[in-house]
Amino acid sequence: MTISEPLDLRLPTPSCYADPERAGLDADAVFAGMTEHLFFTLGKLAPTASRHDLYMALSYAVRDRLMTRYLASLEAIRARPQKTVAYLSAEFLIGPQLNNNLLNLGIQQEAEEAVRRFGVESLQQILDVEEEPGLGNGGLGRLAACYMESLASLQVPATGYGIRYEFGIFDQLIRDGWQVEVTDKWLKGGWPWELPQPDEACFVGFGGRTESYTDDKGNYRSRWIPAEHAIGVPHDVPVLGYRVNTCDRLRLWRADATESFDFYAFNIGDYYGAVEEKVGSETLSKVLYPNDGTDEGRRLRLKQQHFFVSCSLQDMLRSLDQRGLAVENFADYWTVQLNDTHPAIAVAELMRLLIDDRHLTWEKAWEITTRSVAYTNHTLLPEALEKWDLDLFSNLLPRHLELIYEINSRFLQQVRLRFPGNDAIIRKLSIIDEDGGKAVRMAHLATIGAHHVNGVAALHSELVRTQLLPEFAALWPEKFTNVTNGVTPRRWVALANPPLSSLLEQHVGSDWISNMENLRKLEAHQNDSGFLEQWGNTKLTVKRKLSSYIHRHTGVLVDPASLFDVQVKRIHEYKRQHLNALQIITQYLRIKNGQADGMAPRTVIFGGKAAPGYYMAKLIIRFINGIAETVNADPDMDGRLRVVFLPNYTVKLGEQVYPGSDLSEQISTAGKEASGTGNMKFAMNGALTIGTLDGANVEIRDQVGEDNFFLFGQTVEEIAALKRSGYRPWEVIDSRPELSEAIHLIQTGHFSNGDADLFRPLIDNLSNSDPFFVMADFADYLRAQDAVSQAWSDRSQWNRMSVLNAARSGFFSSDRSIQEYCDHIWKVKPLKVDITCDVR
């Protein structure tokens, strides 16, 4: 239930949304807006304002201009109801907002002029102040952010639903080569982009019991009586499209207690008990991804998922009520996209709301649910396909478990009709996993309740159909489809790489930003030596900027003219940062042994966080830093090899790394990476890829051409054959002298200050089991790296390959991805928003 119903005052709506004093987009108007907010909002005078004050003032002034479009967009969907996208995601890694909004409004130069009137040298000094929102972790959250921006840019009405985390996953420090996690207090300085909406809060229940009863029509019903409640308070973040009036919203839920302070407990001296409920409830939105290595951690994570999903679905139902639309038509006005399995409880929660709160029949509720819900699978890794212990689930969500049992019973009856007498398939497809401890399989629930299930790259979608969920695909082949991921060119080229953006505008026109296929026009310049030199100089400019950042933050001096060889992503064994590290050791040994003829001078750059409880990933970070310490201190490496680990990799840092990269390392084990999106950002900025046939690498190679991609490694089929034949990595090591020499050097403690035991767990893992086939791919990886060096030696040819990578990257725009979702899965259309009127 919602906490309060809004009053219907029947006020006339405005004929337009243009406030002449707060909608102006010229430098004078922006300066006036900043001055006003400094004085009235922040209580500061310009002469004493800090850079943070100026950042806040400029942000508020920009937000004023967003409100014109934001309110008009809300009114448009109220006045002309049509299907709206509800994008449910546990993460939205939206990155800094100020510059993105300046770009989309088209007022970057005007803002530059306005801040200079306050005595600031450049707008960049103000942008550097902005704290990055800790609302996401990796590719999943960044994809959600790109999709929200593309939805608005394509003028599609949408709301992104998630959690307003008080603390991000963590800030990463590197101490003595090890990752150290510290609290990410991203809200400490205030966040000007959110609009709290306490009057639209929702109640969410947990625990308790259910009881059955008969309603006044004689129908059997079940009633949930929760043992505890939390309140979800929405905070709205405007999401503006590029040079359009559409401004969608990101609605993030903050958890509050139903009773914040117990006066009786306080008065009898129980001071902790007086605020216990407040502390317990507010924990729900404290931190992104609590450690699920403990029972309490798992309980909190499940509570978080139910909390934001329930609030979001209640909000959608309330929107129908406010517009006088029948709940039976829910699927005509909302399409609910589940971004991975975290929001999969939505299937059961929507059924509960429709049956228990709205008193619909099972058949009608199931029809609505299966018409409105769609599910995106993002992983093939078993540990990432969420399963919840049955006892935990029953204790926390007893009514939902009843509904899941009924969904499962009805579904399995269909399976029996299709596969009579096949108990093995029944066990495999059941939502309830009965092998070992009983558990609820959330991917199964999402698949059964969704009208479409999509993977996020062509290869990944094929593996979902043939390996992950083959029996489901046999039952419902029409459900399964593919939408290859994409990234927004606004942030990842126009914002991140102004020199390249300017060059592109000069040669293909300004509309490439919203129509990436126009970059194909660059192909006409691929043999123009003057253009190729200009392209190379543009790349060198951004590499110098990255070199300066590296020196300031790590103390390592790097040569911007060297090959910048980059691997930035979450640290995980399947992503194989340790494969890259091993080839660095081989290059190091070649230099030491006088065998480095033809080797390109390289700066190898790593970045990424390891999950706090993932020891092997944290050991890989220590391994990389041990190699960096040794290599960078050796005078034989000067001008030939440098290794850098960039701490605390974020969107903000990515905006410097992607433009300044020459080589993109996409070296995951084939069949393990669902898609990847970093690979797309590198390609858009003209980096060449060295990679396996995994995830979206396959499609990148198809698009840019096999001659412009450095391919290596076992295929999915070859890895499967290796497994069947009995893979023995120690035999591979013995047969490869360079690999054997590298392993031996590690074992002597050469990269660990003489500690021969430090990296033993890593070497034992690679030598004995090698679950991600690092040893199997090493020799071919080294061959591909030699091909990279050879290509780098002909700089004009390298620049040509770089141009073709950028020119053919248009397919990987998130605008294309969202258009495919709109056309094939959601069946939604754009809704143009008009804010024009005659202001006198």
Query: Among candidates 463, 504, 392, which has minimal Cα distance to 810?
Result: 504
Active-site residue, 681 included: yes
Cβ atoms of residues 773 and 630 within 8 Å = no
Task: Name the active-site residue from 677, 689, 692, 800.
Answer: 677
Owner of token pair 């970093």: 678
d(CA 75, CA 69): 10
Owner of token pair 């006045």: 79
Positive or negative torsion for Cα 73, 78, 82, 87: positive
d(CA 214, CA 219): 5
Angle between helices 795-807 and 529-554 (to 10 degrees): 90
Chain centre distance of CA 542: 25
Task: Name the active-site residue from 303, 570, 576, 808.
Answer: 570
Query: Among candidates 389, 398, 393, which has minimal Cα distance to 437?
Result: 389
Query: Among candidates 74, 82, 40, which has minimal Cα distance to 60?
Result: 40
d(CA 671, CA 439): 26
Active-site residue, 447 included: no
Task: Please enumerate, as own/partner, the contacts of 720-726 that have beta carbons within 8 Å and a separation of 24 or more.
Answer: 722/773, 722/776
CB atoms within 10 A of CB 655: 18
d(CA 298, CA 292): 5
Task: Name the active-site residue from 681, 701, 800, 808.
Answer: 681
d(CA 690, CA 88): 33
Instruction: For 404-440, give the DSSP string.
Output: HHHHHHHHHHHHHHHSTT-HHHHHHH-SEE-SSS-EE
d(CA 602, CA 129): 32
Positive or negative torsion for Cα 820, 825, 827, 833: negative
Query: Among candidates 263, 262, 297, which has minimal Cα distance to 283?
Result: 297
Owner of token pair 């004689």: 218
Cβ atoms of residues 488 and 772 within 8 Å = no
Task: Name the active-site residue from 575, 578, 622, 642.
Answer: 575
Q: For the chain, report the end-to-end CA distance as a whole number of angstroms.
A: 45
Active-site residue, 378 included: yes
Cβ atoms of residues 649 and 608 within 8 Å = yes
Active-site residue, 609 included: no
Task: Name the active-site residue from 569, 618, 622, 800.
Answer: 569
Give 334's strand partners. Answer: 84
d(CA 576, CA 719): 15
**What are the structure tokens assigned to 700, written together?**
């990148």
Active-site residue, 575 included: yes
**What are the structure tokens assigned to 645, written together?**
């680990």
Give 607's strand partners. Answer: 568, 646
Query: Among candidates 443, 454, 755, which has minimal Cα distance to 619?
Result: 755
* Backbone angles phi and psi of 620, in degrees to 5: -65, -40
d(CA 567, CA 684): 16
Owner of token pair 């991805």: 817
**What are the structure tokens assigned to 284, written together?**
């729900």
Catalytic residue list: 378, 569-570, 575, 677, 681
